[in-house]
């Protein structure tokens, strides 16, 4: 594991502990969630993706800034924002639930729906770091349709391959 991956994993542990201490629900998603499900670091990651409820965004901001994270939004931010500390970039994505129980991320021009079952209580461990992650089926569903950007599409295909090779829970 390279130094950046070590730093990102330590950041995940610290942010998770910080949010857990304040009982703020959060879930790791994206490439790091793939790694937690696989039990191994499968590739280098540009950032750490964490989803939180939009209602908690101000509390989360205060906690992160109090822990040395610097708010670092990018012009591409839509549905969340970024923070940086050292070499680690943390991407927060905001969640909202509608009256029917569907979960989505509000965007400038609509909303991005999350699959049913994405946000449960599943906790996985990777190199001694425990993290609540989005459900594997929901993660695989998201990775099964690669994004438009060629670099992102390549990561999505690789992540989907890793997730597809994992044994179904309860089988064996």
**Distances from the Cα of 136 to the Cα of 39, 128, 149, 154, 167, angstroms:** 13, 20, 23, 19, 11
Higher pLDDT, 145 or 126: 126
pLDDT confidence bin for 167, thresholds 50/70/90: low
pLDDT confidence bin for 172, thresholds 50/70/90: very low
Beta strands in 18-108 (DSSP E): 26-29, 48-53, 70-71, 80-85, 88-97, 103-107
22-46 pLDDT, tens digit each: 999 999 999 999 999 999 999 999 9
* Nearest alpha-carbon partner for 156 in 137, 136, 141: 141
Share of the chain above pLDDT 90, in %: 73
pLDDT confidence bin for 168, thresholds 50/70/90: low
Q: What would the two tokens of residue 29 be?
A: 């998603």
1-22 pLDDT, tens digit each: 889 999 999 999 999 999 999 9
- The 8-class DSSP code of residue 118 comes to S
Structural contact between residues 154 and 144, judged by C-beta atoms closer than 8 angstroms: no
């Amino acid at each position: 594991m390279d130094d950046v991956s070590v730093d990102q994993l330590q950041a995940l542990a610290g942010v998770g502990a910080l949010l857990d201490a304040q009982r703020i629900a959060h879930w790791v998603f994206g490439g790091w969630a793939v790694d937690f499900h696989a039990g191994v670091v499968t590739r280098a990651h540009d950032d750490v993706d964490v989803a939180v409820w939009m209602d908690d965004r101000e509390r989360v901001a205060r906690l992160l800034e109090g822990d040395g994270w610097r708010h670092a939004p990018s012009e591409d931010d839509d549905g969340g924002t970024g923070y940086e500390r050292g070499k680690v970039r943390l991407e927060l994505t905001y969640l909202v639930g509608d009256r029917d129980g569907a979960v989505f991320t509000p965007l400038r021009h609509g909303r991005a729906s999350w699959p049913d079952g994405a946000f449960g209580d599943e906790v996985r461990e990777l190199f001694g770091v425990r993290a609540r992650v989005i459900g594997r089926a929901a993660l695989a569903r998201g990775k099964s349709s690669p994004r438009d950007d060629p670099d992102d599409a390549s990561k999505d295909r690789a992540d989907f391959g890793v997730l597809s090779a994992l044994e179904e829970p309860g089988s064996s």
